[in-house]
Structures are given as C-alpha cells and as structure tokens.
C-alpha cells in the first residue's frame, strides 16, 4: 500500500482503540494524518507515542458538528462501540452515527475525498443466517436498548450508498466483527477485555447466559490490514464487506483460554443474558478473500497473549 501520494488523511475516532492503530499504520506508510476525536471513549494516551511525529495532528472535535479541513482520504471510525458506552447516551450514539456520517460525507463531497465507513456486524442483529454473508439483511430490533448503535450504523450505510448514487462519491463500507488487542478500554464491557481484567484481578469471570453463545475474534493488526486494503480497492468496489476472523468460539471456551493464559484462579459465574444479545456471530469473509486477497493470520491464542501483556501494564491488581 502506498499512502505517500495522499497529502493528508483524516481518521475520525482516531484516538480510540481501532483508530489509534490505524493512525499508527498510516504514519508508518508515510502519510500525513489528522486524528479527530471528542475523547468520549478515545484517549490521548492511545496516541501519545505518535505526537512527536510532525506528520501527525490531533484535533478535539465531535463529528456531529460540521468539520472544514482539506484532506484526500477519510476513515470514519467515530462512534462508541461497546454496549456500556453506546447505551449510556443512546441519543448521542445515534447522532454520532447518522449526523457524523452526513458531516463526513459532506466533507468528502466538498473536497473530493475517498471515504471509508467503519460499519459493524451489529447491522445483522441476532442473525437467522449463519455465518453472515453481506447479502443478508439482518434481524434487528428497531426499538431495543441496542438499537441506537445497530440502527445508527444501518442508517449510516444507507447514507453512504445514497451519496454514492446521488453524488458519485468514492465510498467504501466495511462491517467490522469483534476485534480485540492492545489499547482496548479496560472498562468497555466487551467480553475479551472483561474476561482478561477479571482474570488478572482474580475476580469472578462473568458469563451472560449459559456460555454457549458464540463470537468470532479478530486481532487488531489483522483488521487494520484489511481496512487499508479496502481503501485501496478501485472505486467500482464499494462493499459492504465483512471483515473479521471466522474462527468461532463459545464464551466458555474463551473464558477457559483466558484463565489458562493469565494463570488466573477466577471462578466462572453466570448472569442473565442481556436483551437482544445475539446467540451467534461469525463472518463470511469470502468477499474480502476474493477482492482484497485477505484473511486473518493471527490465532486467538497468540492475539490474547499480546492483549494480556498490554492489560498487565494498565490494570491495577
């Protein structure tokens, strides 16, 4: 990938978990990077190591407000992505997805930038089709406690494709499945960070439901690689394209692996399943393989080792 031709790349949500890794990769490729974040879930500490690079700039800004900058490419990652954070202020979550998409698409239209939307596997809801291909329209509760995120992201996809049809904008849409790795927020309520933090503190590991529900887990380095490859595809390719690791694990299997790798002595306890929690989630990545020649390389065990090492440095035990 050659990003040296681009004078400036905008990453919204650039101080978040995924955004900070993306900024790092773009800088390594020789790009000028403008990181925009309102620091609701993002953290300055995630990008502190990049601040000495003259090609890196941070701007505190909320994407629900218009932004006037000159850029060549836009990666729109801004939105809280964990249930704890996006349900805390659900109206603002919807605004971030919908108004944020409108503002970033408007910016892309004004400056002629190529723009990529970080969508989510949540657009599939609690799926009736398994694994989930891009052609599956999903099974989403439009009035549930997760709807602010699920429907906000679905509406953002609608906006992207309408801007493509109406204004011939160069768009890309990726649907991100569960991703984990260093710089995850310790209190984001996601299952990987929850289990690791609980194991390191020798607290009970909390599994919701009977633990038979499944997820697929993609290590952050693999995910950033396919995001970059997607942005580099010809304009004819828009997506949406699933990106994630098709390896499927039950919550019990994940808990057992985390306990083994941490050496923790925690007990596993069970709590009631939250409303609208999907029973299973696994991407069909045939399209990503065919178009981008990509598939994940890092195993769950190897990725967890890196993630646990990171959390040992940030979690007080």
In this structure, what CATH number is given to the domain that contains residue 113? 3.40.50.720
Residue 312 resides in a domain = no
Residue 85 resides in a domain = yes
Helix, strand, coil percentages, rounded to 5, for the chain:
40, 20, 40
Percent of the chain with pLDDT over 70: 96
Residue 199 resides in a domain = no
Q: Which domain holds residue 53?
A: 9-180+217-246+281-298
Residue 210 resides in a domain = no
Report the distance separating Cα 45 and Cα 202, nearest Å: 26
Sequential pLDDT tens for the chain (317 residues): 554 455 799 999 999 999 999 999 999 999 999 999 999 989 999 999 999 999 999 999 999 999 999 999 999 999 987 677 778 889 999 999 999 999 999 999 999 999 999 999 999 998 899 899 999 999 999 999 999 999 999 999 999 999 999 999 999 999 999 999 999 988 888 899 999 999 999 999 999 888 898 899 999 999 999 999 999 999 999 999 999 999 999 999 999 999 999 998 899 999 887 765 667 788 999 999 999 999 999 999 999 999 999 999 998 76
In 3D, which of 298, 285, 235 has the Cα closest to residue 121?
Answer: 285
Residue 276 resides in a domain = no
The reported pLDDT for the residue numbered 84 is: 76
Residue 15 resides in a domain = yes
Q: How many CB atoms lie within 10 A of CB 245?
A: 27
DSSP reduced 3-state for 245: coil
Annotation marks residue 136 as catalytic: no
Residue 254 resides in a domain = no
The reported pLDDT for the residue numbered 5 is: 54
How would you classify the pairing of strands 73-76 and 114-120? parallel
Alpha helices in 168-215 (DSSP H): 191-200
Q: Give the largest CA-CA distance in the chain.
A: 57
Q: How many domains would you assign to the chain?
A: 1
Residue 176 resides in a domain = yes
The reported pLDDT for the residue numbered 302 is: 98
- Catalytic, out of 3, 86, 124, 149: 149
Q: Where are the beta strands (DSSP E) in the chain?
A: 9-12, 33-37, 56-60, 73-76, 114-120, 171-176, 179-180, 205-208, 214-216, 218-219, 241-243, 248-250, 268-271
């Amino acid at each position: 990938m050659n990003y040296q031709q681009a004078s400036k790349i905008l990453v919204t949500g650039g101080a978040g978990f995924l955004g900070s890794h993306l900024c790092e990769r773009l800088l390594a490729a020789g790009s000028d990077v403008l990181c925009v974040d309102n620091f609701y879930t993002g953290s300055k500490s995630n990008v502190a190591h990049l601040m000495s690079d003259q090609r890196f700039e941070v701007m505190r800004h909320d994407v629900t407000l218009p932004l006037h900058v000159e850029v060549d490419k836009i990666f729109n990652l801004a939105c809280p992505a964990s249930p704890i954070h996006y349900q805390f202020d659900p109206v603002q979550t919807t605004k971030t997805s919908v108004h944020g998409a409108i503002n970033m698409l408007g910016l892309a239209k004004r400056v002629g930038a190529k723009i990529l939307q970080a969508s989510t596997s949540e657009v599939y809801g609690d799926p009736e089709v398994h694994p989930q291909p891009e052609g599956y329209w999903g099974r989403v509760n439009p009035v549930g406690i997760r709807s602010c995120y699920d429907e906000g992201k679905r509406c953002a996809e609608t906006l992207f494709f309408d801007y493509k049809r109406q204004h011939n904008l160069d768009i890309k849409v990726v649907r991100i499945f569960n991703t984990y790795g260093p710089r995850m927020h310790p209190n984001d309520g996601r299952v990987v960070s929850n289990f690791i933090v609980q194991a390191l503190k020798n607290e009970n590991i909390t599994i919701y439901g009977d633990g038979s529900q499944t997820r697929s887990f993609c290590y952050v380095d693999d995910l950033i690689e396919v995001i970059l490859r997607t942005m580099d595809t010809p304009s004819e390719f828009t997506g949406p394209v699933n990106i994630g690791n098709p390896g499927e694990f039950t919550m019990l299997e994940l808990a057992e692996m985390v306990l083994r790798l941490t050496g923790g002595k925690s007990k596993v306890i069970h709590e009631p399943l939250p409303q609208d929690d999907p029973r299973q989630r696994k991407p069909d990545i045939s399209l990503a393989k065919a178009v981008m020649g990509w598939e994940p390389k890092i195993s769950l065990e190897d990725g967890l080792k890196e993630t646990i090492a990171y959390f040992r440095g940030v979690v007080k035990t």
